[in-house]
Every structure is written in structure tokens, then in C-alpha cells.
Amino acid sequence: MIQDIVNAQNAFFSTHQTKDVAYRKQYLKQLKQEIEAQEDAICEALYADFKKPKFESLATETQLVLAELSYALKNIERWSRPEPIESSWTNFPSKDWIQYEPFGKVLIISPWNYPFMLTLAPVIGALAAGNTVVIKPSELSPNTSRIIAEIIKKVFPPEYVTVVEGGVDVSQALLSEKWEYIFFTGSTQVGKIVYKSAAEHLTPVTLELGGKNPCVVDETASLKLAAKRIVWGKFINAGQTCLAPDYILVHTSKKKDLVEAIKGQITSFYGPDIQKSPDFARITTEKHFKELKAMLQGQTLLFGGTCNDSESYVEPTLVDEPNLNSKLMEGEIFGPILPIISYEKEQDLHQYISNYGKPLAFYLFSTNKRFQKRLLSQYSFGGGTINDTVIHISNNRLPFGGVGASGIGGYHGKHSFELFSHKKSMVKRANWLDIPMRYPPYTLPIRWVKRFKHLF
């Protein structure tokens, strides 16, 4: 079956229909209409998967995808045009340009945590650039995967875009095929498997991975606002957000006040009985629920800690000064548990932050501009926000992606279009002049050749 899909997409791509920008636009428009028509059903699927509140489903899944679609539809013609480039004297007279060309068949593998947005957002870029797509959504969010499959089936012929549902075995079967591009969102561990498979065929990849995102709060931060924005970014989607602040590093002098402000903010957002709040999601898989529970073993809690097995509910929890060797601080938490660690001097930050690979995101709450500048130049990370969390993902003019352990490549908006395009470098020579000096026999004095650098 997978072989049939691969053959069909190869044959379809060879017809060059996707090279026509009007063709791409027509399908992207239909996709937009279908998502708009199914928006409530998509939210219901997300609720069925992990009780994702409708507000969050709209704000962080469907509306982001619709915004990405509108932005692509508005700009696709401009993006697709050949880009004129200044020519060099050596080629005079010539016309130089970059021509954007689709790669061919793209494989997109997505995770369960924002199962709609993280699947469709890259699909839009791949289609805007003129590729065909095979989508493998996560088996751990089956209701959302099903509705994605239905929407795609309704809008696209399978030789253009199709969904293959299934788990690890299906994913591996897909990876054993030859693709012209692979876009993977998921864990660092599986990212390595994807990268290895891609290497077999020299297939270019984008890897959107996770990380342990630090959130520094210094003594100049506006604490009340910091608490509100941290609580929002950490507990949205029940902490199952690749961009969520993973742990807090707060200046010792502000720790007590910050903890109180965070506690107050949690209660103000979710009420006194958080389990009853319609605005707080659940942990998607039992395996991860158990891992989160285990992370709390032996920790000192400042707030929360309740776990309800029957509902996969983990209460927003604050952990005081965890040991760096504990399970909680080993890797990405990916749940509603927030470790709070105090630091005395700026130099102390290094031992925590450098303990992990380059994170996907970095957050800093501070009004000290010099401190902001220093930390930004000192630490490498995918992207970040000063005085807020998570929101840098919402500007589709900014590339979204990791660096080092948190991934390879960035997408959204024009960056997606470029990511899914090969940039053909073109030079068109004129025939009315042909300067003979480059041709043998070489008669040009060497001292002249040494001046060529001024001509390139």
C-alpha cells in the first residue's frame, strides 16, 4: 500500500501540475474552506483525545493553521517568483536569479501534543512550494488524526496529498522509502532515527524537536506579570508544549514573591478545584502520565502534586529546588510540573542552562537591558521571548525551529516556502559579448589573475 502511494505521487509530481501556482492556490483555498467548515468537529476531536479546552483548540490549533493558510494564499505568487540577484562582473553580461523549485514527495511525521496545528502547518508550506505530501499523524491522538485524514481525503486526490495513519511500524515503513524531503516533529530520540533513515537516501530533513527550556526571572522583573505569563505558557495544553518553560531560575531575592504570585495566578486561572476546571487539559498517554508521577517522587512541593490515574490528571505543580540528578531534571518534563530553582549570581545560571543541549526556547523576565543582551548573546536556543512565554510562535514572519539538540531548520510563512523549495541558482548569459581571457591558452599575466577577486 505504501509502495502504491509512493508510485502514485511520483507519477503525479512528474506531470508538473503542482508547478502551477494557480493550481496550488486552488487547493489551499479548498483546504481553508474545509477546515473552517469542520472547525467545531476538529475541536471535538481534540477534546476526545485529551480534553483540550475549546478555547485552546481554537487559539492554538485551528486559528493558527487558518492564519498560516491565509498568509500563504496572500503571498504565494510573490514568493514563487524568480528572485533577481545582482550579477558579477566575471559573468558580464548576464541576468542572475534564484528560481524556487519544489523537491517532490514530502513526508511529514507529526506528534500528538498539538496534533492538528503541528500536522497542518508544515503541510501548508510544502504545498505552497509545489510538493506532494504524505502525512503520518500521531497514533496517540487518534481522533484528531482521523479528522485530519477525512479533511485531506475530501480536499485532495491521494496522489497529491494523503494521510497514512498508524504507529511506529507504519512510520518506519514510510521512512524506509525514498523521499525528496522529510519534515519531522517529535522527540529528539525519534528525530535521530528519522535522520538516520533520511541519510540512506541523502534526503534533506527538518527536525522539530524538544528541549528543556529555561525561564530566567531576575531581580528587576515585573513579578505579577511574569507570574501570569509563566503560568499561562506552562499550563496551557497541560504543559505538553514543546515551547513551554521547563524550569524557572529565579533570583534568590525574588523567589518567595514569585512563588506566591504563581500560586495565586494558578488559582485565579483554574479555580480552587483545578480538576473541575474546563480550561485545563489532561495528559494524553498513560505512559507519560506514569512518567510525570514518577518525576514527583522524593521532591519538595510548593503547590499541587495531585495525580488522578482514572483521568490522567496531573495538577499544576510547583517543585522546590529539585536535585539536578533527579528524574525531573534529567530531560524535558512535558507536563504541568514546574521546578523552581533560585540563583544568587549571574554566573550561577550557567551550571543549569549548560547542563542540557541547546533548548528550543528561552525565556527571560527582566527589565535590565544589559542583562537581556548578555544572555541573548551567551546562550544558543531555537527562539525566545523576553518578558513573556511561548508567543514568539504566533508571528508567522518569524522562523520557528530549534538548533542543535532541539532541531534543524525553521518554518512558518515565507520560511516554510523556502524550506520546502530547492533554490536553483541561475545565470543567463548574453551572446553579444564573450570576453576571451578565461579560455586557454592562458595568456593573461598572473598579476592580473591575482586581481580577479574584485570581479566575482
Q: How far is the CB of 249 from ligand NAD (least distance, A)?
A: 20
| Cα 72–Cα 138–Cα 58 angle in degrees, nearest 5 | 50
Task: Please give the C-alpha separations between residue 445 and each of 91, 438, 440, 441, 448, in angstroms, as whole numbers.
Answer: 20, 12, 13, 12, 5
How far are the Cα atoms of 70, 303, 304 from residue 30, in angstroms, in the given order?
A: 12, 47, 46
Among all residues, which ones are annotated catalytic? 208, 242
Rounded to whole angstroms, how far apart are CA atoms 453 and 120? 46
How far does Cα 56 stand from its chain's mean position?
17
DSSP annotation string for 198-214 = HHHTT--EEEE-----E
Query: CB of 332: closest distance to ligand NAD in angstroms?
Result: 5
| Minimum distance of ligand NAD from residue 247's CB (angstroms) | 14
**Chain centroid to CA 68:** 13
Helices and strands, number each (H, E), in the chain: 16, 20
Backbone torsions φ then ψ of 439, nearest 5 degrees: -90, 145
Least distance CB 392 / ligand NAD (angstroms): 12
Cβ distance to ligand NAD smaller for residue 147 or 258: 147
Q: Which residue is nearest to ligand NAD (CB)?
A: 210
C-alpha cell at 446: 598572473
Cβ closest to ligand NAD, residue 169 vs residue 344 = 169
Nearer to ligand NAD, 104 or 115 (CB): 115
- Give the torsion through C-alpha atoms of 101, 109, 143, 237, to 10 deg: -100
* Closer to ligand NAD by Cβ: residue 130 or 214: 214
Query: Of 9 and 145, which has the nearer Cβ to ligand NAD?
Result: 145
> Rule CB under 6 A: which residues touch ligand NAD?
109-113, 118, 136, 138-140, 167-168, 171-172, 175, 185-187, 190, 193, 208-210, 242, 332, 334, 360, 402, 407
Q: Is the separation of the CB atoms in 334 and 367 below 8 Å?
A: no
